[in-house]
Structure 1
Amino acid sequence: MYCCCKWNLAFRAAVIVLNPNDSLIDLKTEREKLSFSTREESLTSMHSCQWIPRRCSSSPEEHTMYNVAFIAHGYGGLVFTDLLMQRKWEVMNKVLSVAFIDSMHNIQHQARNDPQIQWWIQKHCREWVSNNKPLGKAMGSLVKVNCPTVSAGTEKYSLAPSYCLRSIFKYLNRTLKAKATTAITRSPIRTRSTKSKKVGK
């Protein structure tokens, strides 16, 4: 998935370009990338075919089912919250997490009558705000329904995105790992004892 962003003073936009046709991996190219002999042996054993499906992208449909994460700066936070209000269930099911930077959204105003959205914002979002405190330092919030807020590591609004970007990607990576762990623990594990119980019945 490739992301191309265009910026100007009056309008900010981001375009995501998907490539759902790219669903196979060339074994020859993959062999060159891998350095471990065990992995190379496993690929060599598959000499009967030249292509293997990409993990989590073996078809155009699967390719577009990835979870999405947003980084919303300034007015972008208000726009994202509006999207959440307009497409509530789609956003809640597809968006993994959101990193706000000096966001202009107002949960008490935009979602004052929707406790589900308030809960989702608290659970899946974090905001970095321009402040003279060290990067990532927790900030107190007067708004009870807002998401956790931390310092961007700078007082300058224009520098906040570059200052906290690494911290944001660490946060997004943690949420991705947490989701993957939850998915594994929730999936049923078939054991020999459960199989024998079924046979005994």
Structure 2
Amino acid sequence: LYHSQIPCIQMALQAHYDVIVLNPNDNFVDLKIEREWKGLSTQNIESSSLKMVETESFFSLQKPLQCIPKRCSNTPEEHMTYDVAFIVHGYGGLVFMDLLVRRKSEVMSKVYAVALIDSQHHVRHQLGSDVQLLAWIKHHCREWVTSPKPLNKPAVTVLKKEFPMVSAGTEKYDLAPSSSLQSIFKYFKKALKAKTNINSSHVPIVTRSSTKI
């Protein structure tokens, strides 16, 4: 269970997050399985297209369906304002820093918090001397490290001090994610609240004088 993503997913869903589970280690596929999958997917596309045509012709004769707006996605503009938080463990921290460098503007505009757990990233080699990136990770990243200290206590190491570091509440690498989950989601909640407050402070206040022509 400690190696499973299920506890993390359950906690995220309880906090009303949408969840994407990434597996950067899954990089190869058996050629035989790939050919079978491609053949199956082609059949599915043809079948789906047929069903789509039938559905359109059917609904064209019916009254419009009663729909309710999606939460936080009522319009195309609102749909694109989703904020993203990352939880990365071990080598995942290195992968995230690589993503930050390669997709700098996208990551900095969409990601409001990053929780790293015993990360294997290397800021000097990956981010270099980019002042903007260094300032961003300082304010948007926090790392939970294996330590004999109680959970969430400061745990600075000599090699890493680019952003806040706290104890994961365990000295075992495999137990660190499950041990630090409660602390991580509290961090996400606080970071999202801070971002929301900043965004709302930038919204202009409409006054009676400002509406005059």
TM-score, with length taken from structure 1: 0.70
1:87 and 2:103 matched: yes
1:70 aligns with 2:86: yes
| Residues 119-172 of structure 1, C-alpha deviations (whole Å, 9 max, x = no match) | 111110000000010100012243576111000000000000000011000101
Distance between the aligned counterparts of 1:76 and 1:101, measured in 2?
9
Partners in 1 of 2:187 and 2:99 — Cα distance? 22
By percentage of residues, which structure has more helix? 2
Q: 2:149 aligns with which of 133, 136, 141?
A: 133
In structure 1, C-alpha distance between the alignment counterparts of 2:140 and 2:22, rounded to whole Å: 26
Equivalent residue for 1:11? 25
State the partner residue of 1:33: none
- Which segments of 5 or more consecutive residues in structure 1 lack a partner in the other structure? 14-48
Q: Which runs of 5+ in 2 are unaligned?
A: 1-16, 28-64
Q: In the aligned structure 1, how far is the partner of 2:160 from the partner of 2:88?
A: 21
Q: Does 1:153 align with 2:169?
A: yes
Q: Where do 1:186-197 residues align within 5 Å?
A: 186-195=202-211
Deviations 1:11-48 (Å, cap 9, x if unpaired)?
Answer: 269xxxxxxxxxxxxxxxxxxxxxxxxxxxxxxxxxxx
User: Would the aligned equivalents of 2:147 and 2:155 in 1 still touch at CA under 8 Å?
Assistant: no
Equivalent residue runs for 1:41-80 within 5 Å: 51-59=67-75, 62-80=78-96
Question: Kindly tell me: are residues 169 and 145 of structure 1, through their superposed partners in 2, closer, same or farther at Cα, counting changes over 3 Å?
Answer: same
Change (3 A) 1:56 1:115: same
Change (3 A) 1:98 1:12: farther
Q: Which moved more, 1:111-120 or 1:172-181?
A: 111-120
The reply to whether residue 175 of structure 1 matches residue 173 of structure 2 is no
Native 8 Å contact 1:108 1:145 kept in 2: no
C-alpha separation in 2, matches of 1:104 and 1:12: 18
Q: What's the secondary structure of 1:98's corresponding residue?
A: strand
Q: Which has the higher contact order (CA 8 A, sep 6+)?
A: 2
Partner Cα separation in structure 1 for residue 26 and residue 145 of structure 2: 19
Asked if the contact 1:118/1:145 (under 8 Å) is kept, the reply is no
Superposition TM-score, scaled by structure 2 size:
0.67
* 1:139 partner SS: coil
- Number of positions where the alignment pairs a residue of Structure 1 with one of Structure 2: 160
RMSD: 2.6
2:86–2:113 CA contact under 8 A, matched in 1: yes
Q: Which has the higher strand share?
A: 1
